[in-house]
Amino acid sequence: QVQLVESGGGLVQAGGSLRLSCAVSGGTFSSYAMGWFRQAPGKEREVVATISRRGGITYYGDSVKGPFTISRDNAKNTVYLKMNSPTPEDTAVYSCAAHSQFYSPSRPAGRYAYWGQGTQVTVSS
């Protein structure tokens, strides 16, 4: 019954900004730690950022080189990923994911229980 729906993807120029949103329904959002992952054609899925249940702890993957920011609004059942100054190397399908267990900042993708369908982000140069 838990559903995650991403939005906000699209085409953005390098040096611009973009904000992705992930709306969660069918569960108790505040009980979920959340993560953003991405996968580009021909590449493995990688972690972008994760955030604890209350938003007090965040983690960013080694692949994130720019000023990306993960945040959440538990009143809106939504987690966000703000992408500032992205580069073409950030082009990928971005997916959000959730799990209800103890927060581990670097928890691998395979250990997240719920996933959205993803949203395409294309960064042009």
How many beta carbons lie within 10 A of that of residue 82, not counting itself? 15
User: Quick one: pLDDT at residue 65?
Assistant: 78
Paired with 123 in beta bridges are 12
The answer to whether residue 58 scores a pLDDT higher than 80 is yes
Question: Residue 49 forms beta bridges with which residues?
Answer: 36, 60
Which pLDDT value is given to residue 110?
Answer: 93
Q: Across residues 83-91, what is the average pLDDT?
A: 95
pLDDT tens, position by position, 40-52: 999 999 999 999 9
What distances in angstroms separate CA 34 from CA 82, 85, 123, one per listed residue?
14, 23, 24
**What pLDDT does residue 66 have?**
77
**Residue 8 above 80 pLDDT?**
yes
Give, in order, the Cα–Cα distances in Å from 36 to each of 119, 125. Answer: 11, 23
What's the confidence (pLDDT) of residue 63? 87
120: left (phi over 0), alpha (psi -120 to 50) or beta: beta
